[in-house]
Structure 1
Amino acid sequence: MGILSALLIPIWVIWFTIAFFAWYPTLGQWSGIQAYANSFQAAPFLLWTTPCFLLAMTFIVFMVSVYNYASEEKKGFGLLGVAFAIVYGAILGTHYYLQTFVVPQIIITGKTNSSALDGMSLLVLGSPNSLFGGIEAFGYGIMGISMLLAAGVFAGNDRINKVVRGIFILNGIQIISFFTPLSANIVVASIVALVIWVITLPVAAILIAVLFGKQSRHEQR
């Protein structure tokens, strides 16, 4: 499961990146929840929320595998990484479940029944009053803490352990750094942080898959 989860993470991130940056320019200026509902298209929206939901589930398995990989003296770092990964998964798993399976149905209903849209401006991306950015910032900030803590697992002096440790630290700091700009709706800073994240997280996951593969081959000898 460790290698599989490590290989799935880049797939979810690349899928999300392509779908999100294709959808985002269609968002337009906020003109109210009814205008949002009238222009809402479910398919492009679901194309980027679905991999986010899958990532939240996969990341927990990934971090459990990192814990299992850790040496006995480093398992404390791995366990802390798992603990924060579970919190991240619970927050953003719930968030993206709602965004994928609940919110679109309500928005579609609101095209013909405006009363269904009451309070929905709090839940949709693009609304100046939305909780969307704050929830994401908190969830991904917790993910960053998870990666920072798990970096302590990779204490080996070989090149791949050093690179993985460095990328985990970079990724963790970077995710936490976009805590504030995303929750404050600072779009440019959030997009820059997002671009860095979609590069560093897949690289870290692929390197972890290599480490897991090396460990598996060693155990089979």
Structure 2
Amino acid sequence: MLMTITDRSPIALKEWEMGTQAPPSTIANPPAGNANRLGFYISILTAMIAVITLGIAVFTPPISGSYCRKDCIDYPYLDIVSRFPRDYIWMYSAIVLTLLFVALMVCIHEYAPAEKRIFSHIGLAFAIISAVLLVGDYFVQVSVIQPSLENGETDGIALLTQYNPHGLFIALEDIGYLMMSAALLCAVPVFSRTNRVEKAIRWIFIGNFILAIIALVALSIQYGVDRGYRFEVLVLSLDWIVLFVTGILLSTVFRRAMSVATHPATTGS
């Protein structure tokens, strides 16, 4: 007689800890198998869009603030109509990446074993906060700033525009990407198996958050409230690189879980 291993089986729990089995909650569970399949594709898409977004941003040099080297735009930042759309293209990609990040966190939550879901749930909450801040921030730039300038409506532009290193755009990016780092940190307990892939994911998520906090504290000490773009550039670069690298690693995790869920293990009795 064959007995399917369930999520209560000590054998399933042991194999999951050793990295040779899918999370106990996914075995003989078709909905979980679908989540793993979606997680696999979302991971790959996230890695692809992350590297594309980073590449576009690298080739969009700043024209204001501390990183501008020539032909800089100064307050009140009204001479920027000609900069559209080239200075805004990366934002469209960043919006897609941010939405994929939320979808990825949902898949990680579905992958998590029951006793670790509280952590992934908290991470998902941080991810949603991050997405609301960042998507709203970018959408305002591409849908409000440019048409306002073209119609001569300049009131409030200096506070909202991306070219103001002390403006609302940079502040929302700072907190948005810090929330993204916090979301990834909360996902660390989910990847508690001993195989190299999950170990790497854990340390990358932890290291990313630690570096972000160190950067924030160090730049705040050195520059005070006049951080400008410095923290924003650093924290978004860290998050994008992490999403690229761990997107590849997570695709491996989901592929393994998907394979095991498709062919559930059995034991004789």
The verdict on a shared fold, with TM-score over 0.5 as the criterion, is: yes
- Determine the C-alpha separation between the residues in 2 that align with 1:22 and 1:213: 34
- CA contact under 8 A between 2:170 and 2:229: conserved in structure 1? no
Question: What is the rounded CA distance, in whole Å, between the counterparts of 2:197 and 2:77 in structure 1?
Answer: 52
Q: Which of structures 1 and 2 has the bigger CA Rg?
A: 2
Instruction: Confirm or deny that 1:37 pairs with 2:85.
Output: no
> Given the superposition, is the C-alpha separation of residues 177 and 91 from structure 1 closer, same or farther in structure 2, using an over 3 Å criterion?
farther
Q: Which moved more, 1:173-182 or 1:74-83?
A: 173-182
- How far did residue 15 of structure 1 move? 2.0
Q: Which residue of 2 aligns with 1:204?
A: 246
Local SS of the residue matching 2:138: helix
Residue in structure 2 matched with residue 185 of structure 1 by the alignment: 227
Residues 127 and 183 in structure 2, CA contact (< 8 A), matched pair in contact too: yes
Residue 51 of structure 2 contacts residue 241 of structure 2 at CA under 8 Å; is this kept in 1? no
Given the alignment of the two structures, is residue 64 of structure 1 paired with residue 101 of structure 2, yes or no? no
Residue 108 of structure 1 corresponds to 150
Take 1:157 and 1:131, find their aligned partners in 2: how far apart are those partners? Answer: 43
* 1: CA distance, partners of 2:121 / 2:226: 31
The CA deviation at 1:190 is 4.7
Q: Which runs of 5+ in 1 are unaligned?
A: none
Q: Structure 2-normalised TM-score?
A: 0.72
Distance in 1 of aligned mates of 2:215 and 2:197: 27
CA offset at residue 65 of structure 1?
0.3
Aligned partners of 1:75, 1:120: CA distance in 2, in Å? 43
Cα distance in 2 between the residues matched to 1:62 and 1:23: 27
Structure 1 residues 120 and 48: alpha-carbon distance in aligned structure 2, compared to 1, 3 A threshold: same
2:54 matched to which residue of 1? 17
What corresponds to 1:157 in structure 2?
Answer: 194
TM-score normalized by the length of structure 1 = 0.86
Verify the 8 A CA contact 2:78 2:154 in the aligned structure 1: no
The DSSP-based 3-state class of the residue aligned with 1:44 is: coil
Deviation of the 1:219 alpha carbon? 0.7
Deviation at 1:92, TM superposition (A): 1.0
CA distance in 1, matches of 2:199, 2:94: 28
Distance 1:195 1:87 in 2: 19
Whichever residue aligns with residue 155 of structure 1, its letter is: S
Query: Residue 42 of structure 2 contacts residue 103 of structure 2 at CA under 8 Å; is this kept in 1?
Result: yes
User: Structure 2 vs 1, CA of residues 177 and 107 (structure 1 numbering), >3 Å: closer, same or farther?
Assistant: farther
> Do the aligned partners of residues 140 and 196 (structure 1) sit closer, same or farther apart at CA in structure 2, a change above 3 Å counting?
closer
How many Å separate the matches in 2 of 1:130 and 1:166? Answer: 33
Change in CA separation of 1:62 and 1:155 when aligned onto 2, cut-off 3 Å: same
When you count helix as a share of all residues, which structure comes out higher? 1
Measure, in 2, the Cα distance between the counterparts of 1:148 and 1:193: 14
Question: Which 10-residue stretch deviates more, 126-135 or 209-218?
Answer: 126-135
Evaluate the alpha carbon distance shift between residue 212 and residue 97 of structure 1 in structure 2; reply closer, same or farther with a 3 A threshold.
same
